[in-house]
Chain A
Amino acid sequence: MSVIEKVELAHNAAGRTVPSMVNGKPQIPFLGPGKYQPRGRKAAPPISSNKDYPDTGDKRVANLEAALRQCGLRDGMVISNHHHLRDGDRVALMALEAAATIGAKDLMWFPSASFPSQKNAIELMEKGVIHHIEGSMNGPLGDYCTQGKMRGMGVLRSHGGRYQAIQDGEVHIDIAVIAAPTADFFGNADGSHGKSACGSLGFALADSTYADRVIVVTDNLVPFPCVPCQIQGNNVDFVVEVESIGDPAKIVSGTTQITRSPDRLRIAELVAQFLRATGIMKNGFSFQAGAGGIALAFVEYLKQMMKQDAVKARFVRGGSTKFLVELLQEGLTDYILDGQTFDLDGVKSMANDPRHVATSPFTSYNYHGKGNFASLVDAVVLGATEVDVNFNANVVTHSDGRLLHGIGGWQNCLFAGCTILALPSFRDRIPVIVDQVTTLTGPGEMIDVVVTERGIAVNPRRTDLLHALKGSKLPVRPIQDIKAEVENICGKPAKPKLGDRPCAVVKWVDGTLLDTVWQVSESHY
């Protein structure tokens, strides 16, 4: 049987049980935020020589199979992809299937995130082409993992954590296959133009600079030079031209939708009112909000308040959408610092407006660096599946332990000046505030506020926020109160039975092990 069977377990500083070895590598249990001191030097790819590359600059090869062969694909290698094309991506499966044709076995697939449309990866795992996946998994791939069917353990990292793992040499990428909406034959590549435009290509930065071999795959080859470019051709070995890198309809949404649920709108408005009441919303401030329905509505409410109070932000962080673009165009922010681009307005804006800046996990999220943007942000609005009475939160699994989401930038964003979770107090009868979260993804000491439709709970550690809210009419309540009220409505949920076999681990931003995802038991009651 696989390595998973005989793994030793240890307790970490958060009281969670984590394996001491993951996929054959020894692990450090989470020591507490800011407690782990990394040592040594960064990883680096081998030195290349121009003599091995054409003076014409033309690095094109016929197809992915040829490119993988020329990269020296072997059994057990690590193949990486980025997920900027989201559920519309065709390149990752194309690469893995080409590897299968060549006859490679036991590969580790290392995407920055996987999507339901990539469920064919299951077949490749069944055939032995892929040994295991390290990267976010949900839908069918998530179920495959939590049912214990994957040969190795899943490793869930934040966007910053993935950069850190590559930079620190924890994960060595043998071959990076980078989907590029626009590229030239030299390998310069850009995401904000072309029929498959996706905006930023930031998630591929680490892959392009640290992998042994880099292949750029594009469906929009332009004559040298590709301007602007986010991926430098000087890091690229081969360029492959294909008919289509993805389904544009699924790469970005035509329009992102604001929630229409009155309850969620209420949550969004409470968040905006909270920022105003605490004085966080002031001239020169900054905030980050994602593309979820509540977050988008929050931006709309905040925008009205910024106008009323004549307040302008210095920068906003995306996931950019039409709503952030409007802030920029209406002069309510000086810049958008964009990590990924969710809709067509965002893509267009990045392509045309120099104040809409593409960023990468290196600048925004990497914890093993000399600072990052995430801690400079005044307030961030995030979601979660569960939060406990000590403000510890889960974002990766359903309450029953099945994988639901990747961590994304969520952990990295916890370093903002004020971290706000905006959540309905229950979903489908299942309370969101619990005694203990199923899977710990963010330590409670880093989460400041939980906003639900039934009230705002402020972490008692944040006496400054509580003080700022004195005299406001906002429904500020202890988190235990909201929990009790919801349990009164829903009934106290039974504790789901989790297995005792680890099938994936959750890494903290410094590479230490925060928690374990356990194999899910099939029967419920």
Chain B
Amino acid sequence: MSSATETTLPRSAEAGHWGKDVRSDVHVAFEARDAGGVEISLESRVAAYYGSAILEQTRAVLAELGVQHARVAIHDEGALPFVISARIEAAAKRAGIALGKRSLPAPYPRPEACPPEPAPPESSGPPPSGSESSGKDRLRRSRLYLPGSEPKYYINASLHAPDAVILDLEDSVHRAEKDAARILVRNTLRAVDFGPCERMVRINQLPLGLEDLAEVVGESPDLILIPKVETPEQVQAADRMIGEIKARSGVNRPIWIMPIVESALGIENALAIAAATENVAALTIGLEDYTADLGVVKTTEGRESQYARSRIVNAAHAAGIQAIDSVFSDVADMDGLRRWAEASRATGFEGMGCIHPGQIRVIHQAFQPAAIEIEKAQKIVAAFDEAQSKGLAVVSLGSKMIDPPVVHRALKLVERAKAMGVIS
């Protein structure tokens, strides 16, 4: 029973989207009340099949959030359960209710081939994950951007077989939607099976990004992209926070970091940023902001960013991590994309971003070593193996001696070609 001193004004808020053109989302209007229990109204285009399930889920989510009295109006456009709970939670929190509480969806069932790890003691997480523990040096040719407010893109993202998916909380999410997107991305990491794809999250520029970390790190993403990094201290601050949350929530898989350098100052600090912590696995560049910073026009040839991109490649290699390129923003221009990606590989990048699934195949082809390169590398590797077995320090192929860096590069190329499925 609420006391007389408490406000009796309804505290209302809403979250999510509905409308004729909205798919796979739901709109929740939440009105906190002081008495009267929970009252739910539902309109849904899938009411005939899931009406009862949605009502049941809504009651369960409200109970988990500790909501006892509220009016909740749901307008569903075929949202999946993890979206429904995220929208209810966001609406409740916007109404000032259930702060500090979470309603986590059921984790997706782990594929049979991969038996679940025993749950770490005293924690609700981490979620079981279908993606193998992501290696620092794994293949990162393509990363598919998934806007943090657009749940319809998530479920089938991995079918298009990018090396990674990025749930984006930054530029693709409106300022007013950051809070709701954070909850949605958290639920997505937990409930959606991204198969073999590396699960990345792009947080917002620090310090806002720290709030993103607080919500998503407990769900064990594989990699965090930090935008607009200019100094190594920013990366270290984020890494510290990731470490703290991991320890607190029992996440014991590594979470890598990919700083995005997007300014002239950041480019000048590239090496220090690349070497900021052990967890930095790759360094990338954001060309829209970089060209804006310089006050030049971004072209499809990219001459204006040649220095910056070379600098990123050099710094990454100096720090022993991957250099990853920006995105190619004209989704209709596949020839332009191919030219860009081929030039990118030639410059020393190991991958780039995709803003449409249609770009993935072209990028993979462009970053694939040519048959002649592979053949040569395989010969060098064979010679290296032979020298090893004979206990020889010097590797030679025919009458030629092979330098150690060449051997190293050949080993890496063969390993990559295997990961790409080009050779077995």
Contacts and interface: CB of A to CB of B under 8 A. Distances in A.
B358 A429 contact: no
A491 B81 contact: yes
A427 B155 CA distance: 12
Contacts of B160: 262, 266
B45 interface: yes
A396 B24 CA distance: 24
Interface in A420-434: 427-430
B77 interface: yes
B156 A399 contact: no
Contacts, number: 63
A490 interface: yes
B372 to A, nearest CB: 23
A399 B356 CA distance: 31
B109 A488 contact: yes
B332 to A, nearest CB: 10
Contact of A428 (B45, B55, B108): B45
A405 to B, nearest CB: 18
Interface in A472-506: 488-491, 493-494, 496
B159 interface: yes
A488 to B, nearest CB: 6
B48 A399 contact: yes
Contacts of B78: 427-430
B17 interface: no
A124 B201 CA distance: 59
Contact of A430 (B49, B81, B108, B109): B49
A490 B50 CA distance: 9
Contacts of A399: 48-49
A265 interface: yes
Interface in B79-126: 79-81, 108-109
A494 B49 CA distance: 5
A304 to B, nearest CB: 13
Nearest to A263: B156
Q: Is the interface on chain A under 10, 10 to 19, 20 to 34, or 35 or more residues?
A: 20 to 34
Interface string B119-156: 00000000000000000000000000000000000011
A429 B46 contact: yes
A490 B159 contact: no
B51 interface: yes
Interface string B42-60: 0001111111110100000
A489 B156 CA distance: 11
A524 interface: yes
Q: State the main secondary structure of chain A at its contact with B.
A: loop
Nearest to A521: B48
A489 B80 contact: yes
Interface in A75-109: none
B357 interface: yes
Given A428-B78, A525-B55, A262 B358 contact: yes
Contacts of A491: 50, 53, 81
B52 A525 contact: yes
A453 interface: yes
Contacts of A126: none
A399 B49 CA distance: 9
A454 interface: yes
A433 to B, nearest CB: 14
A489 B152 CA distance: 13
Contacts of A496: 48-49
A453 B155 CA distance: 11
A285 B80 CA distance: 42
B298 interface: no
A58 B402 CA distance: 95
B159 A428 contact: no
A175 to B, nearest CB: 40
Contacts of A353: none
B51 A525 contact: yes
Interface in A390-435: 399-400, 427-430
Given A428-B78, A429-B24, A524 B159 contact: no
Interface in A262-292: 262-263, 265-266
Contacts of A489: 80, 155
B156 A430 contact: no
A494 B55 CA distance: 13
Interface in B258-313: none
A262 B358 CA distance: 7
B23 interface: yes
Contacts of B159: 263, 266, 453-454
B48 A494 contact: yes
A399 B47 CA distance: 12
B156 A429 contact: no
Interface in B11-56: 23-24, 45-53, 55
A428 B77 contact: yes
Greatest chain B CB density within 10 A among A399, A429, A494 is at A429
A458 to B, nearest CB: 19
A225 B156 CA distance: 57
- The 4 A-B pairs at the shortest CB distance, nearest first, are namely A428-B78, A493-B49, A525-B51, A262-B357
27 contacts: A262-B156, A262-B358, A266-B160, A399-B49, A428-B23, A428-B24, A428-B46, A428-B77, A429-B24, A429-B49, A429-B50, A429-B78, A430-B78, A454-B159, A488-B108, A488-B109, A490-B50, A493-B49, A493-B50, A494-B48, A494-B49, A494-B51, A494-B52, A494-B53, A524-B47, A524-B48, A525-B48
Given A494-B49, A494-B51, 17 more contacts: A262-B357, A263-B159, A266-B160, A399-B48, A428-B46, A428-B77, A428-B78, A429-B46, A429-B79, A430-B46, A453-B159, A489-B155, A493-B46, A493-B50, A496-B48, A524-B48, A525-B51
